[in-house]
Amino acid sequence: MNSSLIGAPGSRWVGGGSTTRHACAWPDAARPDITPGQALRMGRFWLLSAAQLLGSLACQMLLVHQVAYLVDHGIPALVAASVVSVVGLASIVGKAGGGWFSDTAGREVTYTLGMVCVIASVGMLGVIALGPGLLSAYVYGALVGVGYSVTAPLLPALVSDVFRGRHFGAIFGTMQLGNSLGGALGPWLAGRVFDTTGSYFWALLGAVLSASAATASLWVARNCRALPR
């Protein structure tokens, strides 16, 4: 039996004559606020932090290097710059519709679909490497714009679902260290890979793996197993 990430506070596991607490559980009804110290001992804190770090790594890697990649693969510089505008326009759709969709379909489903868009955008970059085309470039921009804009604003809501209360700001701020680290590490790694190999192939593969791992971390956080209190 699993506990949903979006569940009722105070949910507990009972079985075999003894009471156990979910390893990543909501706070008890008698103790509604989780402190930062308590959060650091919860599996969900680290899984959600991992999702922040890995998701940011993948998205920022693409956003920072996208123009250089497109120009390097034969897309005119002016067109590559216009792709950035497509990313911005697509992000409006993602930000406006992502919140509504997450309330309808669920946070995890929405985040997964966003990361699927990010991974699909990497696929479009692969298509461009095989044969530069304006349509492929703009489809890439639309996909990555929707993907990153859906996932980034969704994470505060996911964290709030678990750690709402007086200490939410401190807990979320601590998690943001992972987000910032991923945002800095992704572009640096891609640049380092390109300088070393002369290609973005391994960097893009890393972006796909990071986006996949971020999604997996989120689902594992939702489905943590019960552990003895």
| Residues belonging to the chain | 229
| Residue 144 maps to a domain | yes
Low-confidence ranges of the chain (pLDDT < 70): 1-32, 224-229
Q: Residue 37: which residues within 8 A CB-CB, separation 6 or more? A: none
Handedness of CA 102, 104, 108, 111 (dihedral sign): negative
| Residue 16 maps to a domain | no
Tokens representing residue 182 in the block: 């991923």
Domain containing residue 155: CATH number: 1.20.1250.20
Q: What's the pLDDT at 15? A: 30
Question: What whole-number distance in Å separates Cα of residue 170 and Cα of residue 158?
Answer: 15
Q: What's the pLDDT at 23? A: 42
| Residue 19 maps to a domain | no
| Residue 7 maps to a domain | no
pTM of structure:
0.81
- Give residue 187's domain range: 26-228
| Residue 14 maps to a domain | no
Residue range 47-60, pLDDT digits in tens: 999 999 999 999 99
Q: What's the pLDDT at 224? A: 64
Count up the domains in the chain and report the number.
1
Residue range 103-135, pLDDT digits in tens: 888 888 999 999 999 999 999 999 999 988 899
| Residue 113 maps to a domain | yes
| Residue 10 maps to a domain | no
- Rounded to the nearest 10°, the torsion over CA 201, 202, 207, 210 is 160
Q: What's the pLDDT at 34? A: 84
Q: How far is CA 169 from CA 33, 133, 164, 166, in A?
A: 12, 45, 9, 8
| Residue 43 maps to a domain | yes
